[in-house]
Every structure is written in C-alpha cells, then in structure tokens.
C-alpha cells in the first residue's frame, strides 16, 4: 500500500460560516494504481487532491504515505518530501512565463543534489517522453495549450515521483489535445507510475484503472474499471 487516508476532515472556517470540504474520507491507494476522481463542482475533489499533494493539510485524520505520516509532518520536512516524492499537473499548466520549457522542467530538480550533466540528461529524457523536446528553448507563451500541458507533465515526471497528481489536466484542452494528455498518463501508468486525477470527463475517467465518485465531501462510490 502506497497511501492511506483515514478519517480525513477538512473544515474551512470564516467568521460566519463553516464549510465541511471533506467529511470522514477514507482512501487507500496501491502503488501502480491510476485513480480518477469525479463529482459535481464543490464536492471536495480539489481539496482531496491538495491534501494528497501536501499543498493543504487536513483539519483532522491521518495521511500515511509509505512509512511516513504526513498529517503531522513539519512544514520544512513536508516541502522536501513534496519535492522528492510528488509531481503535480494543473488544469492551467502553471508554467513560469519567464523561463523556457527546458528551464521550467529543470526547476523541478534544482533542489536535488545532482551533477549538472545528469540533471540536463534527465530533463532531456522527460521532454522526449512527452514529445516536447523540439520546443525546449521556447517560452510557454509560444506554445499551444496542448504543448504547454505536455511540458507541465515533463516537469511533473522529471523527478521520478512516487505519485502524480493531476487536477483536471484536460480541462483547458480541446478533444484531440486532451486525448494526447490522457494517452501520456495511461502510458506512464503502464510503465509503473501511480496517478490520481480529477476529471469531469466520463470517457477520461474510463481510461483510469479505478474511479472514485465524490458527493458533499465524501467518497460515495469506488469502482474498478475493466481495462
């Protein structure tokens, strides 16, 4: 077992209102799984993904990742954990406009103690895996949405993370580019990557190995796909 969330709650409090974004969520993920999370807007999908990605912390509950308990880990240690174990893909790509594609991908490795030549070789290999190597010296604004998302995938995988998180990775793409991104995610999963993806597309959810449906901050269904 790679991941175990147990009794996870996430409350948002302001002066007048209290929102329960997640309510007693239990989720176990094995190494090598590809999980699609679906559900209506506001049901807690991004909150769940952000907690898995350690960008957010649960109000209560336990988050085990391998041998680590992440819900109580100190922030500095968590930042290090995040950089070496997790890769994140966002709906809006989130590349840095002032850096080239190559530099964006390389940034994910900058905190690792690694000789420059090895770092360069890893960056080139990651870009090749998503067929973006020919745009290495371009800036994000010079690329199509599909190319930018492929570059963002290269950034997510260059550190060989234990878990790839994707929040609506095809949400800003047309059908063809969306399918390319899904093909890449499926290939990465077949090669062993563990992936958790939020999507609004039933056909994209069908390309995952398991589908989890959420409603009002809870997981209501978890089914294995026949793929």
Ligand X SMILES: Nc1ncnc2c1ncn2[C@@H]1O[C@H](COP(=O)(O)OP(=O)(O)O)[C@@H](O)[C@H]1O
**16 binds ligand X, rule: CB under 6 A:** no
For the CB of residue 86, give the shortest distance to ligand X in the complex, in Å: 18
**92 binds ligand X, rule: CB under 6 A:** no
> What pairing do the DSSP bridges indicate for beta strands 163-167 and 195-198?
parallel
**104 binds Mg ion, rule: CB under 5 A:** no
Nearer to Mg ion, 10 or 129 (CB): 10
Q: Considering only residues 29, 38, 46, 173, which one is a binding residue for ligand X as defined by CB under 6 A?
A: 46
Under a CB-based contact definition with an 8 Å cutoff, are residues 200 and 37 in contact? no
Q: Is 160 left (phi over 0), alpha (psi -120 to 50) or beta?
A: left
Assign 124 to helix, strand or coil: helix
Q: Considering only residues 7, 19, 60, 175, which one is a binding residue for ligand X as defined by CB under 6 A?
A: 19
Which of ligand X, Mg ion, none binds 86 (CB below 5-8 Å, type-dependent)?
none
**21 binds ligand X, rule: CB under 6 A:** yes
**46 binds Mg ion, rule: CB under 5 A:** yes
Query: What is each CA distance from 44 to 10, 11, 61, 182, in whole angstroms?
Result: 9, 11, 16, 23
Query: Residue count at the site for ligand X (CB under 6 A)?
Result: 11
CA distance 162 to 52: 12
For the CB of residue 200, give the shortest distance to ligand X in the complex, in Å: 10
Cα maximum dimension of the chain: 55
Residues that bind Mg ion (CB under 5 A): 46
């Amino acid at each position: 077992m790679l991941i175990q969330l147990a009794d996870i709650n996430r409350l948002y409090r302001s002066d007048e209102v209290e929102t329960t974004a997640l309510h007693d969520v239990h989720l176990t993920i094995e190494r090598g799984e590809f999980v699609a999370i679906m559900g209506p807007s506001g049901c807690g999908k991004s909150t769940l993904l952000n907690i898995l990605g350690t960008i957010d912390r649960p109000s209560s509950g336990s988050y085990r990742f391998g041998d680590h308990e992440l819900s109580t880990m100190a922030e500095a240690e968590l930042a290090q954990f995040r950089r070496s174990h997790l890769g994140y893909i966002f709906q809006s790509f989130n590349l840095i406009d002032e850096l080239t594609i190559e530099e964006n991908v390389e940034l994910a490795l900058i905190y690792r103690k690694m000789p420059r030549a090895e770092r360069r070789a890893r960056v080139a290999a990651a870009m090749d895996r998503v067929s973006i190597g020919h745009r290495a010296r371009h800036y994000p604004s010079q690329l199509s949405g599909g190319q930018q998302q492929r570059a963002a995938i290269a950034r997510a995988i260059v550190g060989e993370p234990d878990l790839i998180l994707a929040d609506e990775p095809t949400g800003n793409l047309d059908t063809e580019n969306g399918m390319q991104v899904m093909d890449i995610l499926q290939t990465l999963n077949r090669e062993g990557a563990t992936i958790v993806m939020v999507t609004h597309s039933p056909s994209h959810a069908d390309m995952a190995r398991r589908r989890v449906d959420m409603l009002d901050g809870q997981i209501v269904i978890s089914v294995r796909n026949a793929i």
